[in-house]
Amino acid sequence: MPTYNKLVRDRIPEIIENTGKNFSTRVLDNNEYIQELKKKSFEELQEYVDTNNNEDAIEELADVLEIIHSLAEYHGASIEVVEEARKQKAEKRGGFKEKIFLIEVEDE
């Protein structure tokens, strides 16, 4: 039996159960949960980085966004609150649409 030891989506146990396979799970405490969410964010982002086409990229971005929703909720915020923070930051510092690549800044 393969060992995974990782955070999975809520319906994964149900999906596995429907295959007739045996499995084991446990519910994480809050400290474990945030640590596993952080690890999962890197995993999902790496899966996005490894994509080679738009369709796969969108699928992986959806996973990244699901993690962001969960992280926001863990920190007591909604995705709308995160979006508002993003907008404020974009207003002050801009976004990434202009594709600007900073090469160097002269020291004084």
pLDDT digits (tens, 9 = 90+) for 74-99: 999 999 999 999 999 999 999 999 99
DSSP code of residue 28: P
pTM: 0.88
Whether residue 105 lies inside any domain: the answer is: no
Tell me the C-alpha distance between 10 and 25, whole Å: 11
Q: What is the mean pLDDT of the chain?
A: 97
Whether residue 5 lies inside any domain: the answer is: no
Residue carrying structure tokens 């596993």: 36
The domain containing residue 49 runs over which residues?
12-78
Whether residue 104 lies inside any domain: the answer is: no
Q: Which two tokens stand for residue 48?
A: 């996005």
Whether residue 26 lies inside any domain: the answer is: yes
**Structural domains counted in the chain:** 1
Residue type (1 letter), 69: H
